[in-house]
Chain A
């Protein structure tokens, strides 16, 4: 029998996901309104730099420096990997020790309640290195999300499966590799999607206030130059990068979860 192939939603998902026609129409209307405003801005008394035309934004896009994009993406991916490993490890330890979980849960809730801007300020006050500051902020924001999601989904793994596996006497490592990780993989991948978009937003703010490279820094420069076109161009690059990363994740999801019934 032929195993089920790629999930239909993954098949349908392109770079922009299952994009409805209505959504495309809305975006086109928004673009048209923007361009009209840009053209009419002098007569409406709006400063021309405030609503740049698409031609002006296009020119700004041509000045985008790939190195800054690469630096931001590397920061995001590096921090996500560290956060994931840290979050998963702590989730597994807390799964094994309910006492530790009872002690650690309130601390994690506290960490998650701290505003991102406060973490950035702490990072600036506590650490010197720019890279370390950015990494610290990303990890402190992202790791708890991975941890809580993983722990909750581990606790949700059916008792029937746990008892079945335990009846065969797995080692602790086998218990996680043969059951817990594959069983929680769908929710782990969902966490990645959530945390990835969170990380893109966080890294921008962190770079905005504390870095001399990256998209956030370039946004800061554009703001100082009062160049809305540049802000728009860098924002577009950021959003496109997020869509690209999400697309890669969707492909990985389709491959890793091919066993799921259509």
Chain B
């Protein structure tokens, strides 16, 4: 398995020019934080605060305008190919390829990583079994429910057993029961794999349920608060939710989060 890697973000900024107006937009102001190896961190923020831009930089799809972001000492954008087989993402929509069966969708990253065919098949079948889809290996995406499709997408990400695992609003579009079930599965598997995990969400309940830590992003993206969920009294999760909510509304850290 890939060794989990820490994420270092220092003075990260992202600006881009709008194609229509030509105006410069600050998507990420300045981000500074560190995520330890094997940690599960949830990032919350309002819509349009730059969470997804941050994720694109973390995946390596976009380059930062300033500052740096490194995973295990390498930059996902600059050292793009070095991350082959080491990084996996569960996206908001499942993004399954409709011409591939469930099994072949899970195999996709393994094929790209150049894994031997027999191992690809065994590993993919194993992950589909673990996610309760053992009987649906030959099914095409359109033959599966939304929850099942997202399970296939999760299996696809975990099949790589990646050093770094990312999830972008991965459960937000599912019904509450399915979402809760998948969140639980996600956390369990992430802990088993030991991957460093970053989950982006706008749902505070989800962030509290999943994260070891919660980073609260302001608008434009800057860290307003960095909360350790483990150190927060379990019986006061309602208070934590209220404090994060207040932080997001004021776009400034709530005093309760500074303890």
Contact = CB atoms under 8 A, between A and B. Distances in A.
Given A1-B138, A3-B139, A178-B112, A168 B88 contact: yes
Contact of A168 (B99, B100, B112, B142): B112
A160 B89 CA distance: 12
Interface centre among B91, B93, B99, B160 (most CB of A within 10 A): B99
Contacts of A163: 56, 59, 61, 91
B91 A160 contact: yes
B132 interface: no
A161 B112 contact: no
Contacts of B97: 161, 179, 182-183
Contacts of A171: 112
A164 B136 contact: no
B81 to A, nearest CB: 6
Interface centre among A166, A167, A182, A260 (most CB of B within 10 A): A167
A99 B158 CA distance: 38
Given A160-B95, A169-B80, A1 B143 contact: yes
Given A4-B140, A4-B143, A259-B99, A169 B81 contact: yes
A17 interface: no
B142 A261 contact: yes
B95 A164 contact: yes
A170 interface: yes
Contact of A169 (B56, B83, B93): B83
Contacts of A161: 95, 97
Nearest to B93: A160
A168 B108 contact: yes
B2 to A, nearest CB: 13
Nearest to B84: A169
A3 B143 contact: yes
Contact of A3 (B61, B83, B135, B140): B140
B101 interface: yes
Interface centre among A3, A160, A168 (most CB of B within 10 A): A168
A1 B112 CA distance: 27
B173 to A, nearest CB: 13
Contacts of A164: 89, 91, 95
Given A3-B143, A168-B160, 4 more contacts: A3-B139, A161-B95, A167-B88, A178-B112
19 contacts: A1-B135, A1-B136, A3-B101, A3-B138, A4-B142, A160-B91, A160-B93, A164-B91, A167-B60, A167-B61, A168-B109, A169-B80, A169-B84, A169-B112, A170-B112, A178-B111, A185-B99, A260-B98, A261-B140
